[in-house]
């Protein structure tokens, strides 16, 4: 499974990229606004740090303007992925861009039917929002299971990019179901490292080492 980090914080991206755990970055207008930077400059800065796909979302609602925005964004770097909403105009844009060889991330997916439409439009990634479904009492991971099954049935190349991840078990469950990518906030990615037995074991090893009075350096 590939890990994308869902943030526009350059310091966080650099720190996590150094671990080798970051395969790409996803952003959205809300995250970009929080950064306080000009959007185009922000995407360029992220692309200079990460070599994998970097999702940059259009803000227009109509196909023609989406295409104009996409043409600006994709000039920033070859690994910019144009992020479009799962609407009729968004899928028209997805089709046009994917036919031209541009990576496209179709976002705000909440049903298997929507995911099927995105795959038929040639999306590189589909972003189902599991956390938001869980928040309203629906089954977010059930959606991932359905999408993975449908895509496997027909051999679609669209990758399932699990979004709106709230905690490490979302990541584990998605991996068990065969999803291709998990995108998560930096704090959630760091939680994947944590286990109390790891901390306990490390403490025991270091306490025993200290008793020897030795130093490697």
Domain for residue 42, yes or no?
yes
Name the residue among 212, 206, 189, 199 with its Cα closest to residue 20: 189
Mean pLDDT computed over 46-70 = 97
Q: Report yes or no: 113 and 133 within 8 Å, Cβ to Cβ.
A: no
**pLDDT at residue 11, rounded to an integer:** 96
Mean pLDDT computed over 67-78 = 98
**pLDDT at residue 100, rounded to an integer:** 96
**pLDDT at residue 99, rounded to an integer:** 98
pLDDT category of residue 126 using cuts at 50, 70 and 90: very high
Domain count, the chain: 1
Domain for residue 151, yes or no?
yes
Mean pLDDT computed over 56-64 = 97
Per DSSP, the residues of 128-196 read EBHHHHHHTT--HHHHHHHHHHHHHHHT---EEEEBS--SHHHHHHHHHHT-SEEEE-HHHHHHTT--H
Give the SS3 label for residue 61: coil
Give the SS3 label for residue 54: strand
pLDDT category of residue 88 using cuts at 50, 70 and 90: very high
Name the residue among 26, 29, 10 with its Cα closest to residue 18: 10
Region of 215 on the Ramachandran plot (φ > 0 left; ψ -120 to 50 alpha; else beta): beta
Mean pLDDT computed over 69-94 = 98
Q: Report yes or no: 57 and 84 within 8 Å, Cβ to Cβ.
A: yes
How much is the mean pLDDT over the chain? 97
Where residue 84 sits, what CATH number does that domain have? 3.20.20.70
Half-sphere exposure of 99 (CA within 13 A, CB side): 9
**pLDDT at residue 114, rounded to an integer:** 98
Domain for residue 217, yes or no?
no
Token representation of residue 62: 């109509």
Domain for residue 164, yes or no?
yes
Per DSSP, the residues of 1-42 read -EEEEE---HHHHHHHHTTT--SEEE--HHHHHHHTS-HHHH
Domain for residue 160, yes or no?
yes
Instruction: Look up 83 and say whether it is catalytic.
Output: yes
pLDDT category of residue 197 using cuts at 50, 70 and 90: very high
Domain for residue 24, yes or no?
yes
Q: Report yes or no: 46 and 8 within 8 Å, Cβ to Cβ.
A: yes
Domain for residue 183, yes or no?
yes
pLDDT category of residue 163 using cuts at 50, 70 and 90: very high
Per residue in 89-118, pLDDT (tens digit) is: 999 999 999 999 999 999 999 999 999 999
Full domain range(s) for residue 175: 2-212
| Catalytic residue (choose from 2, 74, 83, 200) | 83
CB atoms within 10 A of CB 84: 28
Domain for residue 69, yes or no?
yes
Residue that the structure tokens 């150094």 belong to:
18
């Amino acid at each position: 499974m590939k890990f994308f980090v869902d943030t526009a914080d350059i310091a966080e991206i650099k720190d996590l990229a150094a671990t080798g755990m970051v395969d790409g970055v996803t952003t959205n207008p809300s995250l970009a606004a929080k950064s306080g930077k000009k959007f185009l400059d922000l995407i360029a800065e992220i692309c200079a740090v990460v070599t994998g796909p970097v999702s940059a979302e259009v803000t227009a609602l109509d196909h023609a303007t989406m295409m104009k925005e996409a043409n600006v964004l994709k000039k920033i770097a070859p690994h910019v992925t144009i992020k479009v909403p799962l609407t009729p105009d968004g899928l028209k844009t997805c089709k046009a861009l994917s036919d031209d060889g541009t990576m496209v991330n179709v976002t705000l997916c909440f049903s298997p039917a929507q995911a099927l439409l995105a795959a038929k439009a040639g999306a590189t990634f589909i972003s189902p929002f599991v956390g938001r479904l869980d928040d309203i009492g629906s089954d977010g991971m059930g959606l991932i299971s359905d999408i993975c099954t449908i895509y496997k049935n027909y051999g679609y190349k669209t990758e399932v990019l699990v979004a709106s991840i709230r905690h490490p078990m979302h990541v584990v469950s998605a991996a068990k179901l065969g999803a291709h990518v998990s995108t998560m906030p930096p704090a959630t990615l760091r939680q994947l490292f944590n286990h109390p037995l790891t901390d306990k074991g490390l403490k025991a090893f270091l306490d025993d080492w200290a008793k020897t009075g030795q130093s490697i350096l």
